[in-house]
Amino acid sequence: MTAAGAFDSTRMVTALVRLHQALHDIALPLDLAGAAEQRRSLAALVDQLEDYVIPRMMTIDAPLLAVVGGSTGAGKSTLVNSLVGRRVTAPGLLRPTTRSPVLVHNPADAHWFGQDRLLPELKRVEHATDDPKALQLVASETVPAGLAILDAPDVDSVEEQNRLLAAQLLAAADLWIFVTSAARYADQVPWEFLKAAAERSTAVAVVLDRTPQDAVQTVATHLARMLAARGLKDSPLFIVHEGQVSGEGLLPAPHVAEVRGWLDMLADDAAARQAVVTQTLDGAVRALTFNVHPLADAAAAQGDALDRLRGDVQAAYGNARSAIVAATADGTLLRGEVLARWQEFVGTGELLKSLENRVGKLRDRMVNAVKGKPQQAERVSVAVESGLELLILEHAEAAAERAEAAWQQTEAGRGLLADAPGDLGRASRALRSKAERAVRDWQQDVLEMVRAEGEDKKSAARFLAYGVNGLGVALMVVVFANTAGLTGAEVGIAGGTAVVGQKLLEAVFGDQAVRDLATRARAALEQRVDALLAEEEARYTGVLDVLTVDAGAPDRLRQAARGVDDVRYAMQRTLD
């Protein structure tokens, strides 16, 4: 290779390594339409880079690797043994045959096939084994230097592991020697492999094996037409007639002479060898960059779907938060049990009548109404606690149902729900106890605010007269009804209730202090509600967070593919 060619090869390896990394950054975890096929395509592209393209580009002068593959019972192993001239691989008498692939090479070429070279995931052994994760290396002087022959499993084996290994080995070939027979040449599976070879311009030779003499003309003619129709008209077609197999498992030498002569010609002609390698390698690189763009689109679609799923959850729990906040501010809670207990506590009915005519005397009435009722204050507190807990539980339950319903509308969401732990469509079992604790903690916050505010006031006697608990529940009532500015007939029951509480607080702390206390108490309540709902929402978002979809990965993949194409075009211009 020229200095310029070597420089381009180095640039290409660098570009391919970047593409390899970009492919590793692609994640397709969601079950979108076509995702299963896209995952297989992604795995195949990574394998192609690791098993063939990058190692081959780094060792461009390595021997030409001819992989012998084909249908079950086509005679691949017998053909390999006959080409080598001795038994190097055992034909399978029982189907499916599970054994390691066998690579036969000239002893002078042994250094090219180390663990760090072609097919690096397969461990190297020098003995027969049935381990499909091993590559058996056989050195033979009968194989010319510059050529290596690899016997692969059946592409249509009933064993999935054999089929996957056959596909992996064929994808690592410089040259496919595809073996079929008169009985199997029209089978669909082999033609799927040949179609893939044509699409990426892989060099292919076809061997029609085990063909009776009287069927050669008919079968060969039909097979040639099929090859031409599928873009393989330039692929050589060899006929291996039926013959007596020797005790060593070999066909008569004349039967394989044509195939052997063609391989010897390739081995002797460095330029011809290089042309085959260049054709296959360039086709593999071109196919790689072409096929990554649909993967980039698929990865982008995964990111969009993930955003939609996350948005559905955020909307559901955001609505729940808004509903809870609204219900704790519009008087909704000041009904039923809470209202009854508050009225018992402050004598609201009598005090409301006094609002219109004797607001100035209200403070004195409240001292008498409230003083000495700690048990009634506790009843108000318990009623508030119960009402708040129920409100939180109802809206958290509704949020879980809305989020689940939204996810059920998409295939990706349904898949996530099926695999998620627990029932995401219901609030968590622990929410009730957490809500109880959160409400009690908030009530304690309110009492601490009142206590701290009272310590700063000179009217200590009045503060003591009402009591921390009494003033605390009054502050809770004020928080639950934002009716500031409404008085007398303008307020309803809830509003009037809040006015009573507000006047009570103002009698002790003053107007501005009450406004500040109410603001701080509401903020503390919203903070605790937010924390509860965040934990509930995290049951959904936690399912999404572990998917680790990188939003920038699709663009990096496209850029990496363009980088490979740029180097490839530059190398072609140099060759031209």
Q: Which domains does the chain have, with CATH numbers?
A: 62-268 (3.40.50.300), 328-549 (no CATH)
Contact 149, 262 (CB under 8 A): no
Contact 65, 118 (CB under 8 A): yes
Contact 142, 84 (CB under 8 A): yes
Q: Is the pLDDT of residue 361 over 70?
A: no
pLDDT band at 459 (very low <50, low <70, confident <90, very high): low
State whether residue 1 is helix, strand or coil: coil
CA gap 314, 308 in Å, rounded: 10
What DSSP character marks residue 107? Answer: G
Q: Is the pLDDT of residue 345 over 50?
A: yes
Confirm whether pTM is higher than 0.85. Answer: no
pLDDT at position 499, please? 67
pLDDT at position 241, please? 84
Phi, psi (rounded to 5 degrees) for 172: -100, 10
Q: How far is CA 155 from CA 76, 164, 304, 318, 534, in A?
A: 11, 8, 38, 54, 53
pLDDT band at 486 (very low <50, low <70, confident <90, very high): very low
Beta-carbon contacts of 355 under 8 Å, excluding residues fewer than 6 positions away, are: 362, 487, 488, 496, 499, 500
pLDDT in tens, 178-191: 998 888 888 888 88
The angle subtended at Cα 275 by Cα 273 and Cα 281, nearest 5°, is 105
Q: Is the pLDDT of residue 351 over 60?
A: no
Q: Read off the tokens for 38.
A: 């896209």
Residue 276 or 5, more confident? 276
* Mean pLDDT, the chain, integer: 84
pLDDT band at 576 (very low <50, low <70, confident <90, very high): low
pLDDT in tens, 220-250: 899 899 999 888 888 999 998 877 888 888 8
Q: Is the pLDDT of residue 530 over 80?
A: yes
Q: Read off the tokens for 8.
A: 């381009």
Percent of the chain clearing pLDDT 90 (strictly above): 47
CA gap 340, 323 in Å, rounded: 24
pLDDT at position 369, please? 44
**H helix intervals, 409-467:** 411-419, 431-455, 460-466
Contact 296, 386 (CB under 8 A): no
Q: How far is CA 482 from CA 85, 186, 328, 570, in A?
A: 97, 82, 9, 73
pLDDT at position 127, please? 85
CA gap 90, 81 in Å, rounded: 9
What would the mean pLDDT of 365-376 be, rounded to a whole number?
50
Greatest mean pLDDT among 344-348, 509-513, 529-533 lies in 529-533
